[in-house]
Amino acid sequence: MMKKSLFLTALSLAILTGCQNVGSQALQIEKQGSFTVGGSYVTHKGTFKQENFIAPEGQRAYGDFAYVKYQTPTNAKKYPLVFQHGGAQSSRTWESTVDGREGFDTLFLRKGYSTYLVDQPRSGKSNLSTKAITPDTPWASNPMYADKTFWILSRMGHYDSHNQPVANAQFPAGEAAYQAFQQAWTIGSGPLDNDLNADVLTQLVDQTKGAILVTHSMGGTIGWRTALRTDNVKAIVAWEPGGTPFIFPENEMPKITKARFEALSGAAMGVPMNEFLKLTKIPIVLYYGDYIQVGSDNVGEDKWGTELAMAKQFVATINKHGGDATLVHLPEIGIKGNSHFLMGEKNNQQLADLMADWLKQKELDK
Amino acid sequence: MMKKSLFLTALSLAILTGCQNVGSQALQIEKQGSFTVGGSYVTHKGTFKQENFIAPEGQRAYGDFAYVKYQTPTNAKKYPLVFQHGGAQSSRTWESTVDGREGFDTLFLRKGYSTYLVDQPRSGKSNLSTKAITPDTPWASNPMYADKTFWILSRMGHYDSHNQPVANAQFPAGEAAYQAFQQAWTIGSGPLDNDLNADVLTQLVDQTKGAILVTHSMGGTIGWRTALRTDNVKAIVAWEPGGTPFIFPENEMPKITKARFEALSGAAMGVPMNEFLKLTKIPIVLYYGDYIQVGSDNVGEDKWGTELAMAKQFVATINKHGGDATLVHLPEIGIKGNSHFLMGEKNNQQLADLMADWLKQKELDK
């Protein structure tokens, strides 16, 4: 098989040719966002047990919902347009054209219509299915019986029931919010390759000629690796980085704090010092939420305890070599109850303001 | 396995509780859209032949790119925010919260930052991979060697080479546009189930209390089926419906025009007359592009010839029973060179205006 890399993209083409047909005036958007609609779950027989927290027993697999992206312009017409894509496509069909011009989504917003763009069930951002795997439907690892695994590893509640949220929980209560959380996961269609992810993110950052990376969880290592690949990363804001290796000088590797389930322990990878020093050239901030404690009987609280211990060594090592890294453990500044998905919780505006203040402090808000 | 359907969704919760924290003023968006970045392809050995147009021989499989959704507010700050999600997530992470409030994407647009939201390679809307399947990576049907299959079935060019676009092609020329087209496909994670798709679309339409459906290609049948399920479908605009059954009264089934490759022939399904009559209660318009001809040596032109013949019978049957269906074959009104993906081609603004005029004519633009 011949393998060839392509570096031109629709956007770079659009930039080169200046073929953005932006209307004479800015879009006036009253509201925008995304949600999932429909959906069901199947429950695996057996009883969920913390001691075997990734086993399917007693867990729900969610699926068969649609992902919907919506926008409403000011003074919208009475009836919105609901866009249904064709086979093996996604709502991408209705977005920008292949040469980077505005697609029907934006064109009809300009005409005053609200738009709802669907990724149909089992596709795109809604690619979870409750359809059991059979020899003639060899789909990815569906159904994914893991609702309690996700719940406890994310520190939203305790393992014996998702009806026991943590005290002062910032995660919204109720079945609908729980379902929306479960319906935000996606099934991969290839092995996780964080160097590939970083290579591609680097191409995007280079196209922007300078950008601030905002990462979450396992995306943390993708952010660090991207900063090693390009000077166009001007800062990194990492929300609970972990689950993938932090980066250290190969001759200054950190102490690993072991989790009770060892596979959940924080991890590190070594790089040559001259590579590591690139992380000392940009401001970096890491935010961690509440209920993080090595030794906790909640595997999520224990797991994130080992990640936090790793993150503290990461920050100390960057600063020891002249860098500008900050770690904010939110409970220590009075912000309680946040889980691993803090950017979407009840106080997300407060957290956005906190991040905006940091960017201002670093003069990245000009 | 116990199966349970859930009808509450994040949006309906948001509606019920009114918990949209829309800012005091509308967002001012200078530009918005999506594109893919990065990506590579692998080429299968052998030579592509029209006679075996779905075989991998000589075809490229694209993959390992990221999908990126971007927005730029007016007077944007110098550095955009590039958002990288965590493991098994997607850019959904940064969009609306699980209880329907604004997420970091919109919150930071309000603060004046441009945003780029990534679906990392092999996930979400960018779930194509060039990684070959091995026993220990049992991913979906990747790599998907089908670039020429897609190209000719979409009537963009001729089978012997994607470098031979049709005359007057509205599809943008060049490798970058070709790549962007190939990188818009997605791998499903469950069997195609158009009744499931219609059930979920019905829930969305019912939440809107009235909507205009816009469908493409195989989405056509999902649109017809949704209109049979709810009175909240106020009109249907179908762009080249086909590839899945049209709907007819079970006692008035149409004549099937056979394609040279019989599996590509237009299809029909019968429903009781009282069900079919629901399609006569709303205005419906179907648009078809250029290069559609039964018997053409281009399998795509031949295939869409049989679909167009089916569509004409569909429209005639609706109108015979007192409905309001219109079929617009674009070349007949002087709009030449459009392929199957016409909504994203060079003249997409002209097509959007055409659709907007039809909506106005039907007084659906109030």
Q: How do the domains of chain B map onto residue ranges?
A: 30-361
Residue in chain A lying closest to B226 (CA) = A84
Q: Which chain B residues are closer than 8 Å to A300 by Cβ? A: none
Look at A186 and B124 and tell me if their CB atoms are within 8 Å. yes
Does residue A10 contact residue A99 with C-beta atoms inside 8 Å? Answer: yes
For residue range B80-120, what is the model confidence (pLDDT) as tens digits?
Answer: 999 999 998 999 999 999 999 999 999 999 999 999 999 99
Look at A138 and B139 and tell me if their CB atoms are within 8 Å. no
Q: What is the ipTM of this complex?
A: 0.90
Q: Strand runs (DSSP E) across B17-160, as ranges? A: 27-43, 60-73, 81-84, 115-119
Nearest CA among B161, B153, B294, B270 for reference residue B218: B153
The count of other CB atoms within 10 Å of the CB of residue B218 is 22
- pLDDT in single tens digits along all 366 residues of chain B: 334 444 444 344 343 333 344 455 899 999 999 999 999 888 889 998 888 888 888 888 889 999 999 999 999 999 999 999 999 899 999 999 999 999 999 999 999 999 999 999 988 999 888 876 555 554 555 678 889 899 999 999 887 655 689 999 999 999 999 999 999 988 887 788 999 999 999 999 999 999 999 999 999 999 999 999 999 999 999 999 999 999 999 999 999 999 999 999 999 999 999 999 999 999 999 999 999 999 998 999 999 999 999 999 999 999 999 999 999 999 999 999 999 999 999 999 999 999 999 999 999 999
Kindly state the greatest CA–CA separation across chain A: 64
Look at B28 and A31 and tell me if their CB atoms are within 8 Å. no
Q: Which chain A residues are closer than 8 Å to B137 by Cβ? A: 190-191
String of DSSP letters for B195-207:
HHHHHHHHHHHHH
For residue range A296-332, what is the model confidence (pLDDT) as tens digits?
Answer: 989 999 999 999 999 999 999 999 999 999 999 999 9
Look at A177 and B142 and tell me if their CB atoms are within 8 Å. no
Q: Which chain A residues are closer than 8 Å to B130 by Cβ? A: 3
Min CA distance, A252 vs chain B (Å)? Answer: 27
**Of the partner residues A34, A83, A197, the one whose CB lies closest to the CB of residue B96:** A34
State the architecture of A30-361 in CATH terms.
3-Layer(aba) Sandwich (3.40)
Q: Which chain A residues are closer than 8 Å to B42 by Cβ? A: 1-3
Q: Which chain B residues are closer than 8 Å to A118 by Cβ? A: 201, 204
Distances (CA, A) of A329 to A239, A255, B102: 11, 20, 24
Min CA distance, B232 vs chain A (Å)? Answer: 10
| Mutation to test the A interface, candidates B60, B84, B95, most A Cβ within 10 Å | B84
Residue in chain B lying closest to A91 (CA) = B125
Q: Encoding tokens for residue A266?
A: 């924080």
Residue in chain A lying closest to B185 (CA) = A89
Min CA distance, A166 vs chain B (Å)? Answer: 17
Q: Encoding tokens for residue B144?
A: 């998907």
| Mutation to test the B interface, candidates A97, A130, A151, A153, most B Cβ within 10 Å | A97
Look at A118 and B21 and tell me if their CB atoms are within 8 Å. no
Residue in chain A lying closest to B132 (CA) = A190
pLDDT the model gives residue A121: 92
pLDDT the model gives residue A29: 98
Q: Which chain B residues are closer than 8 Å to A121 by Cβ? A: 190, 193, 196-197, 200
Q: Which chain A residues are closer than 8 Å to B178 by Cβ? A: 98
Q: Which chain B residues are closer than 8 Å to A245 by Cβ? A: none
**Of the partner residues B11, B137, B212, the one whose CB lies closest to the CB of residue A79:** B212
Residue in chain B lying closest to A205 (CA) = B82
Q: Which chain B residues are closer than 8 Å to A22 by Cβ? A: 30-31
Q: Which chain A residues are closer than 8 Å to B348 by Cβ? A: 97, 101, 103-104, 107
pLDDT the model gives residue B132: 62
**A247 beta partners:** A269
Q: Which chain B residues are closer than 8 Å to A74 by Cβ? A: 26
β pairing state of B27-43 and A2-5:
antiparallel
pLDDT the model gives residue B342: 97
pLDDT the model gives residue A49: 86
Distance (Å, whole) CA B90 – CA B67:
10
Min CA distance, B280 vs chain A (Å)? Answer: 19
Distance (Å, whole) CA B194 – CA B213:
15
Does residue A34 contact residue B94 with C-beta atoms inside 8 Å? Answer: no
Q: Please calculate the CA angle B278-B283-B289 and round it to the nearest 5 degrees.
A: 115
**DSSP SS3 for A49:** coil
Min CA distance, A99 vs chain B (Å)? Answer: 6
Q: Which chain A residues are closer than 8 Å to B76 by Cβ? A: none
Burial class (CB in 10 A: 0-12, 13-18, 19+), A112: middle
Nearest CA among A343, A330, A355 for reference residue B98: A343
Min CA distance, B222 vs chain A (Å)? Answer: 8
Q: Strand runs (DSSP E) across A23-108, as ranges? A: 27-43, 60-73, 81-84
**Of the partner residues A13, A175, A189, the one whose CB lies closest to the CB of residue B142:** A189
**Exposure letters B251-261 (e unless 16+ CB within 10 A, then b):** eeebeebebee
Q: Note the pTM of the prediction, 2 decimals.
A: 0.90
The count of other CB atoms within 10 Å of the CB of residue A16 is 11
| Mutation to test the A interface, candidates B93, B126, B141, B200, most A Cβ within 10 Å | B200
Residue in chain B lying closest to A131 (CA) = B190
| Residue numbers in chain A where pLDDT is lower than 50 | 1-22, 138
Distance (Å, whole) CA B163 – CA B142:
25
| Mutation to test the A interface, candidates B36, B40, B98, most A Cβ within 10 Å | B98
**Of the partner residues B39, B111, B197, the one whose CB lies closest to the CB of residue A6:** B39
Q: Strand runs (DSSP E) across B267-307, as ranges? A: 268-271, 283-288
Look at A64 and B190 and tell me if their CB atoms are within 8 Å. yes
Q: Which chain B residues are closer than 8 Å to A189 by Cβ? A: 122-123, 127-129, 139-140, 142, 187, 189
| Mutation to test the A interface, candidates B17, B34, B54, B68, most A Cβ within 10 Å | B34
